[in-house]
Amino acid sequence: MLAEAANGLRRNATMVISVVLVTFVSLTFVGTAALLQLQIAQMRGYWYDRAQVAVYLCTAVSTTEGCIDGEATPEQKEAVEAQLRGDTLAPFIDEYYFEDRDQAYANFQEQFAGTPAADYVTPDVLNETFWVNLTDPSQSAVLVESLAGLSGVEQVVDQRRYLDQIFDVLNAASYTAIAVAAVMLVAAALLIATTIRLSAFSRRKELGIMRLVGASNRFIQTPFVLEGIFAGLLGSLLAGGAVVAIVTFFVQGYLAESLSFTFVGLDDALLVVPLLVAVGVLLAAVSAAIAIRRYLRV
């Protein structure tokens, strides 16, 4: 059976190479999408734990309902801080600090240095702010509901809402990669089935003789299934190597050196490789088995 499988691979070398390449490209997309999901999960845990709630106090130019009396007074600031220290909110708060107008202006100048905004913005239009770190960032709604209606508070902003927008974009990119991979996996399955049928047609006389001498269907089908498995295995191994190379040379090499952040590592890539091999082998085996069974019935 192994000899028959080797003969089939040799006779249909061009088609086998096509199967390997399509499987390689499609599974590389699958591996990339899996790594992107792992990266998103890692980023979500990292940034959500560091996301703050900003309590912006009224300025002289604020127009919200809580700022009808103009700039927040010292008494109103003390009332907000008393709420933060109170028994109701204290269990939810890890720490907080107050940023006055001069600190806000200095941070603004540093962040937007070299832009026109840095020349036109003055300290009096910037909010004084209480920055709050929560023990559990998912409970930020408690803080928002408690402080949003206080006098002197312009708005209470949970920074996680900005992170959600970023993660939505990353998830969309991941789902796009999965969709492309799914289409290419279907193409790979059809190509494997076509290759097996062509291989069986080129050996139709041999198959007829094998049937006449009493060979079982399983004995006849197995070499063709092995051909598909070999092509799928080779393509999936190439895809696994590509995923490991992407993580090693691009993610850990280029991105990790350019950006101060933690990215998926080699351990994560090695977790994905067995998945790719399993998908590639299973896809090839099922496609080849269905194709040869239908051919033999005909």
Are the C-beta atoms of residues 72 and 57 closer than 8 Å to each other? yes
Q: Is the pLDDT of residue 49 over 80?
A: no
Model confidence band, residue 206 (pLDDT cutoffs 50, 70, 90): confident
Residue 7 in tokens: 């003969």
Tens of pLDDT, residue by residue over 18-29, are: 788 888 988 888
pTM for this model (two decimals): 0.64
In order of 91, 156, 221, 293, the CA distances from 136 in angstroms are 10, 17, 59, 57
Model confidence band, residue 102 (pLDDT cutoffs 50, 70, 90): confident
Q: Is the pLDDT of residue 101 over 60?
A: yes
Percent of the chain with pLDDT over 90: 6
Task: Kindly state the average pLDDT of the residues 203-219.
Answer: 73
Which of the residue ranges 193-207, 228-242, 258-272 has the most confident prediction, judged by mean pLDDT? 228-242
Q: Is the pLDDT of residue 261 over 90?
A: no
**For 125-159, b where at least 16 C-beta lie within 10 A, e where not — what string?**
ebbbbbebebeebeebebbeebbeebbbbbbbbbb
Task: Kindly state the average pLDDT of the residues 277-293.
Answer: 87
- Residue 277 pLDDT: 93
> What secondary structure does DSSP assign to 29-55, as a single string?
HHHHHHHHHHHHHHHHHHHHHH-EEEE
Q: What is the average pLDDT value for the chain, to the nearest integer?
A: 81
Q: Write down all domains in the chain, each with its CATH number in brackets.
A: 2-47+164-297 (no CATH), 52-158 (3.30.70.3040)
- Residue 237 pLDDT: 94
Model confidence band, residue 239 (pLDDT cutoffs 50, 70, 90): very high
Model confidence band, residue 244 (pLDDT cutoffs 50, 70, 90): very high
Which of the residue ranges 79-88, 103-112, 252-261 has the most confident prediction, judged by mean pLDDT? 79-88
Going through the chain in order, the beta strands assigned E by DSSP cover 52-57, 93-99, 129-134, 153-158
Q: Is the pLDDT of residue 238 over 90?
A: yes
Q: Name which of 35-39, 40-44, 186-190, 267-271 the model is least confident about.
A: 40-44
- Residue 5 pLDDT: 59
Task: Kindly state the average pLDDT of the residues 60-88.
Answer: 85
Laid out side by side, the sheet with 52-57 consists of 93-99, 129-134, 52-57, 153-158
